Amino acid sequence: AARTRIHHLQQAKDEGRRFAMLTAYDQYAAEIFDEAGIEVLLIGDSASNNVYGNDTSLPVTVDELLPLCRAVSRSARRAFILADLPFGSYEVSAARAVETGVRFLKEGGAHAVKLEGGAYYADTVRAMVQAGIPVMAHIGFTPQSEHSLGGYRVQGRGEDARRLIEDAKALEQAGAFAVLMEMVPADVAAEVDKALRVPTVGIGAGNGTTGQVLVWQDMAGLRGGRMARFVKQYAQLRTTLSEAARAFGDDVRKGSFPGPEHSF
Ligand code: KIV
Ligand code: NA
């Protein structure tokens, strides 16, 4: 199949179809999800938590995310490659955002970037699109602003719904090719999708968005601990891998691996 491009994502919205997005941070995840037909692969700044062992997405840097982006873009044949702009790499000015965006396309092989923020970032988005960098905007709960927002909380409830819709419209107006919503009431997210021409992507935003995204280690049950309500686990990779590692360790200690068939 041909490479997924922005116009295919737009076509999905126009024709009432949906598309799927997963994070990917390395070669095998990228290959497997690409072959499985996942339309968009996100090199999320969630690599901070899921690759680099941090508690939040805040510490991850451009220099840490770029090599992961390169690995994913080299490994996927069909998927659209989207990279997150890390915290601190775009906020200070539109010029800084353009510079960072250029690095993700040029050095990382990304096809587009995603940044967190509402109408305040309209000028930034406009400058990036002008420079040839497609932008997905991320609104609702924005993990990079966790400390401003007072933790992981649903956004856009009650009075705030109006502002969320206005943010989405301003970002579309500025040239964003899509808007992602995280932890937003389902009815509000559906209203945003209806109000926009461009596609929306949801995570914890109900079933009314054009696309859906999950962090792959959550989706596949690799990560341990408590899962957010919006996660559905489609596999139990943590158990599978743990059992494999225990069996290998036991075999080695018993002297039953390697067998003659593994030896020269
Ligand atoms: O970094 C990330 O994983 C994200 C989510 C929307 C999946 O931005
Ligand atoms: Na992110």
What pLDDT, on a 0 to 100 scale, did the predictor assign at position 140?
Answer: 98
Q: Assess whether 88 and 10 both reside in one domain.
A: yes
Q: What ipTM, to 2 d.p.?
A: 0.99
Q: Which of 15, 39, 172, 182 is catalytic?
A: 182
| 128, 104 Cβ separation under 8 angstroms | no
Residues 6+ apart with CB under 8 A from 43: 23, 24, 25, 65, 68, 69, 72, 81, 82, 83, 84, 108, 110
Domain presence at residue 157? yes
pLDDT in tens, 91-111: 999 999 999 999 999 999 999
How many independent structural domains does the chain possess? 2
- Binding residues for Mg(2+), by number, are 45, 84, 116
Q: Assess whether 248 and 158 both reside in one domain.
A: no
Q: Assess whether 141 and 256 both reside in one domain.
A: no
Mean pLDDT of 75-100: 98
Domain presence at residue 134? yes
| Percent of the chain topping pLDDT 70 | 100
pLDDT in tens, 134-181: 999 999 999 999 999 999 999 999 999 999 999 999 999 999 999 999
Q: Which atom of ligand 1 lies closest to the CA of 23?
A: 3
Q: Assess whether 10 and 107 both reside in one domain.
A: yes
Residues 6+ apart with CB under 8 A from 15: none
3-state secondary structure of 116: strand
Domain presence at residue 1? no
Q: Assess whether 155 and 261 both reside in one domain.
A: no
Q: Has residue 1 got a pLDDT over 90? A: no
Classify each residue of 19-43 as buried b or exposed e, where b means 16 or more C-beta atoms within 10 Å of its C-beta: bbbbbbbeeebbbbbbeeebbbbbb
Domain that holds residue 248: 237-264
What pLDDT, on a 0 to 100 scale, did the predictor assign at position 243?
Answer: 98
Mean per-residue pLDDT of the chain? 98
Nearest CA to 209 among 31, 9, 34? 9
Mean pLDDT of 107-131: 98
| Residue 31 known to be catalytic | no
Helix (H), strand (E) counts: the chain = 11, 8
CATH of residue 77's domain is: 3.20.20.60
